[in-house]
Structure 1
Amino acid sequence: MSDRIWRCRCGAVEATVAQVPQSGVPAVCYCTDCRAFARLHSAADTLDTAGGVALYSTTSDRLRILQGAEHLGCQRLTRRGPLRWFTTCCDTPLGNTAPFRGVPFFSLMTAGLEDAPKPRVRLHRGSATGRVPRPHGSLYALALGVARRVLASRLSGRWRDTPFFDADGRPVSKPGRPDGDDLRLAYGART
């Protein structure tokens, strides 16, 4: 187990992710929302050949912002969707959280992660834009691992220790909505 460094494209935001890979599950998500989020933030080049986004699913208490916390931006692609975090300094996508602090789930986009672990599961394969590489992994194992980590974070009280929400449980950056034209382009683009 080791902590890994995550950096945005310009280096203004730097974070550590604790105990990789034991603290989470490396995955690739092929859902249209993750793909659109990558495109919105000029990260289409990080998509795999089937349009998947590499993620590391863990809990938000496992991420520590070392520098540049003032550059965290937040948006929602849909009214009920997760909060999607990015850097305002260079528009690097960071990851996704639940819309409120009480569920400490966090999926880090691994494009900025040093020595990112290989994916163990591939999600939402039906939305892929091409043939999904094997192995596909076990969605059941992912869900069980996420539930176990979230429960452990809740029981230990670590869920309160998050860089994404303040002490009152509000996001540290007010969630915005992308411009309608940008959103349509992100969802409609072909890669």
Structure 2
Amino acid sequence: MFECLVIAGTPGVGKTSVARIIAEKVGGLQLDLSELVVGEGLYEYFDEETGSYVIDEARVSRRVREICSGGKPVVVATHYPEVLDEVIIDRVVVLRLNPVVLWDRLRTRGWSDRKIAENVMAEMLSVVLMNAISKFGVGRVVEVDTTGRSPIEVAGEVLEKVSKGYTQEKFIDWLSIVDPGFLEELERVLSDEQET
């Protein structure tokens, strides 16, 4: 079915849960790219301002290539699929989540309003999806809406789309769906944080 499948999306959309289920179903390995980066020191430095690691893309790509060459199917969960070597990746599935639901979900993580707003804005603007398409091409990228669905349901849809070679024809446009007032609130949070 696949050697190396990427499950991508903004934080909070369900990547890790879905990747774990898929790996179990195919007898493969689930790899959380963020955990790999931190656990194996595959970063250049820690950015205090953003509260995140700046990854060493060449080392990360090389390490994932090694893992994906191990003979078992690998399911990689990440919010930055564009750092991976397109030669070893069979498909990229971008999980999407209604931005209003994502806001509520990320609030439970204890993150700052700014960090939440940045991630929700990235989801609204399809940043992970666009990065994946730019790197891997539209024919190798599909998306799945996780809103109101269990990880088991989502994993089933992912496996079906991947096994059938599904080609995405239309992509989600949250900007046309979400209340404009929500977008204004996000912009307010981001501008307030910049002024302080």
Report the TM-score, using the length of structure 2 for normalisation: 0.30
Structure (1 or 2) with the greater strand fraction: 1
Greater gyration radius: 2
Report the TM-score, using the length of structure 1 for normalisation: 0.30
